[in-house]
Amino acid sequence: MKSLSSELQFLVKVCSRALQKQVGDNLLLPPVPDGGIDWHLFVREVIRHGVIALACEGLQGTTIPQDLLARLNEARRKQHIGMMLLMRELLLLEQQFAAAGIGLIALKGPLMAQHLFGGVGYRMSNDLDILVSAENIHTAQTILYEAGYKLDYFQNPLSPSQIKHLLTATAIHLNFRNQERQIAVELHWRLMVDKQFLPEAMQKTMVARPQTITLPTGQTVDLLAEGDLLLHLC
């Protein structure tokens, strides 16, 4: 902790306070480090590390200037709206994939935020990461195109032979973008590039045992199981 700047040290304590409050503990206000805080730098660090919602909750009652707190609260509002839009898109895609008989596992993103923190707004994501089996890539691509997405870096949808060639390369996902809705999707068929770190047999085991997350709306989406999720994120 001592190697971190005063602003980052304070940010860690603020986020810890917010997390403790979520589980019913009420930590004391974190003391401002000796030498004070550059509040403008602190706000930039909050935004850079994507912990806006946690910071807003952990900062309640502190001496942060009110104009900067208002700036963070506005950033939190916009982030929450963005994450809600991503979650809505994930649910739509999950329904379309399910109708085609394709299993979909969400990676990271709004579903993980909902699962870990109890709300989609607690993490910041810029896209949706979804995992399908390799044999379903072509069908998944068709569904995404029908939903208004197009491939990045490719002029046209990939043919089955192009996809087959792709599977022999080191690629693990394809990038899609919906220009109208300004949403990007990464379509994964592998979790890691290096098969020495994650052999195919191990990935098959992980994919076969996802946890099903039930949302407040009653809808369900699969997410990697707890230990598998930790392995993937690390």
Shared domain check, 129 and 40: no
Residue-number span of the structural domain to which 209 is assigned: 84-233
CA angle at 109 for the pair 41 and 143, rounded to the nearest 5°: 140
pLDDT tens series, the chain, 234 aa: 558 899 999 999 999 988 887 666 666 777 777 678 999 999 999 999 999 999 999 998 888 999 999 999 999 999 999 999 999 999 999 999 999 999 999 998 999 999 988 899 988 899 999 999 999 999 999 999 999 999 998 989 999 999 999 888 888 999 999 999 999 999 999 998 888 888 989 999 999 999 999 998 899 999 999 999 988 887
Determine if the pTM surpasses 0.85.
Answer: yes
Other Cβ atoms closer than 10 A to 219:
13
Q: Work out how many domains the chain is built from and give that number.
A: 2
Query: How far from 8 is each of 5, 46, 52, 66, CA to CA, in Å?
Result: 5, 9, 13, 20
* 75 found inside a domain: no
93 neighbors 130 (Cβ within 8 angstroms): yes
78 in any annotated domain: no
Q: What are the backbone dihedrals phi and psi of residue 78, each rounded to the nearest 5 degrees, phi first?
A: -65, -40
Q: Is 79 within the bounds of a domain?
A: no
